[in-house]
Amino acid sequence: MRKSNQIDNTITEGTGDGNYAIEFSKNKNSAAYPTEKAIKVLFVSSGNLKNFDLAPFIKVQGESLVQVGINVTYFKVKGKGSKGYINNIENLRNFIKNNHFDLIHAHFTLSGWVAALSFPKQPLILSLMGTDALGRVKSQWKIAKVFNYLTMLTYLIQPFVKKIIAKSPNIDRHVWIKSKSHILPNGVDLSKFDGKRTDYSEDLNLDHDKKYILFLGKRDDKNKNFQFLKEIESDLAKLNFQLIAPYPVSHPTIIKYLSTVEMVVVCSLQEGSPNVVKEAMASNCKGVFTDVGDIREVVGNTPGYAITSFKKEDLLDNILKVDAMTVCKGRERLIEKKLDTKNIALKLKAIYLDALNI
């Protein structure tokens, strides 16, 4: 057992066989809710990310729920592939049996199946992340067929869960039991992404004389489509722009990049509600994005941003157009849309209360 350095009062425990890990969060703010019984929620998600113990957006959501009086425990599935998930069904069943939780919240369809097949007595909430509903992109410009195995599993699990949370309308289209459906994107912690545009060039080893365009996706991920941006790299270089794609990078370092660079570019072929867009807006970092997921609705006509087509000439034109903009009001737009972590946490808490008939 070891003390985690991610948040205070968090303990991480690993089993001898390494099949799963448990993380307990102590609710330091329970005194702020003296008349409420603390709701105990078990998050079930993958713990297999190469560079993170837990997906940052899941950890951020858990931390924000703690701030509104929810007690969150994390069950992190270890072991990749179907076998890794199947091996954890009994582990999860035993863990739920030996501990008290009011409800289970699974993130991603495969984690949802682990939870469903453990047959919990508690209500089961499922968050759809994107690829589980939309399918994985196999190659550049080739979107997976609708009824791939992940999508099929997403359709099949719906009778066995109490509530289904989609991050965006395009994901919600794959929820066929509409009485269970809720659309709720992830929020952004405005205290971390402060929008002050502090220059961290020295910390990041960036040249003050260059204009940097940030790409935060995995470069070889076909869906993130880095190759599309690379196609105009030589044109950008002639105009003193330099592309940087630092993945993998820690969340604190992402905060510094978004505070420093000229703009961020998202070239994805498909998305749900990408966090990088909202984090850029919270940082008042300009951006150019493809028209996928909820990006167009989130960005709107906000100064400092542009939506591009998948034509490289259009991408280049929009980068130059955004660079010429003297005002960026991304943070103002984000606050207007109530896409901060606290507002999203309160909405998620309301979904929990409804599932519990409270």
Better-scored residue on pLDDT, 166 or 24: 166
Q: Provide mean pLDDT across the span 199-226.
A: 96
Do 181 and 330 lie in one domain? The reply is no
d(C-alpha 9, C-alpha 26), whole Å: 5
Q: What is the pLDDT of residue 37?
A: 74
273 or 6, greater pLDDT = 273
Residue 35 pLDDT exceeds 50: no
The answer to whether residues 155 and 174 touch, using CB atoms and an 8 Å cutoff, is yes
- Decide if 200 is inside a domain: no
Tally of domains within the chain: 2
Let me know whether 175 and 239 are in one domain. Answer: no
User: pTM of this prediction?
Assistant: 0.87
274 and 324 assigned to the same domain: yes
**Pick from 124-138, 157-171, 317-331: least confident:** 124-138
Instruction: Tell whether 58 is covered by a domain.
Output: yes
Confidence of residue 255 (pLDDT cuts 50, 70, 90): very high
Report if residue 43 sits inside a domain: yes
Using alpha carbons, select from 273, 226, 276 the residue that is nearest to residue 251: 276
> What pLDDT, on the 0 to 100 scale, is given for residue 14?
52
**Arithmetic mean of pLDDT over the chain:** 89
Predicted confidence (pLDDT) at residue 233 exceeds the cutoff of 80: yes
pLDDT of residue 336: 98
Tens digit of pLDDT for each residue in 132-175? 766 666 655 555 554 578 888 999 999 999 999 999 999 999 99
How many residues are recorded in the chain?
358
Looking at the domain assignment, is residue 283 inside a domain? yes
Q: How confident is the model at residue 10 (pLDDT cuts 50, 70, 90)?
A: very low
Per-residue pLDDT tens over the stretch 281-296: 999 999 999 999 999 9
Regarding whether 166 and 297 lie in a shared domain, the answer is no
Least confident of 78-82, 296-300, 328-332: 78-82
CB contact at 8 A, 262 and 323: yes
196 in a structural domain: no
Q: CATH number of the domain that 290 lies in?
A: 3.40.50.2000
What range does the domain containing 153 cover?
Answer: 2-187+340-355
